[in-house]
Copies of this chain bind each other. A is one copy, B any other.
Amino acid sequence: MRTELDDVDRALLEALQEDARLSYNELARRVHVSPPTVAQRVRRLEHAGVITGYRAVVDPVAAGRGVVALVRMKCYGPRCITVHPELLDDCPEVVEVVRLTGDICSVVKVVTTSIGELERLLVRLAAHGETSSAMVLSTPIPWRPVRPA
C-alpha cells in the first residue's frame, strides 16, 4: 500500500500529527488549498492506511496513574503475548505491546496507579514468560511526526 504522497499530503500529515483536531478550513489555510480538497486528501490518506486513527493524548500522571513502566518479556512459546494479545484483554493497565527481533520477544508499556499495582501486574505477566521491568522517569521526547519517505 505504497501511495505516492506529494507536498500537500506531507503538509497535511505534519499538521494533523501536531493537532488532530484542526478543522478542514484551518488545514486549508495552512497548506494553501481549498477546504474540499483538504477533505478529499485526508480521506484518501485514511483510506490508504497512511492515517490509521486520531487519538487524544492523556497524561498518566494528571489522570492519577503516576507509575509508568516498560516490561521486557521473554515469553514461554505457547503463552506468548505477541501471538495471543487477547490474553491481556483484562489488563487495562497495559497500554502498548510491541513485538521485537532478538531474545526479548516484546516490550510492554504499563500505566498503573501505584507501585503495588505494578507489582501485581508483573506477577500476572510473569505467567507468560520472564519479565524485566524499568520504570519510566520522564519522556524527554514524547513524540515526533513520522515524515513520509
List residues of A whose CB falls within 8 A of some B CB. 1-3, 5, 13, 16-21, 48-65, 70, 81-83, 85, 88, 92, 94-102, 104, 106-107, 111, 113, 134-149
| Chain B residues within 8 Å of A102, by CB | 134
Known: A2-B62, A54-B57, A98-B138. 8 other contacts (CB 8 A): A1-B61, A3-B62, A13-B58, A20-B20, A50-B59, A52-B62, A81-B140, A94-B144
Determine how many copies of this chain the complex contains.
2
Q: How far is the CB of A107 from chain B (nearest CB, A)?
A: 6
18 A-B contact pairs sorted by A residue (CB < 8 Å):
A3-B62, A16-B55, A16-B56, A20-B20, A20-B55, A21-B54, A49-B62, A50-B58, A51-B56, A51-B57, A54-B54, A58-B148, A63-B147, A64-B148, A81-B140, A85-B140, A99-B139, A101-B135
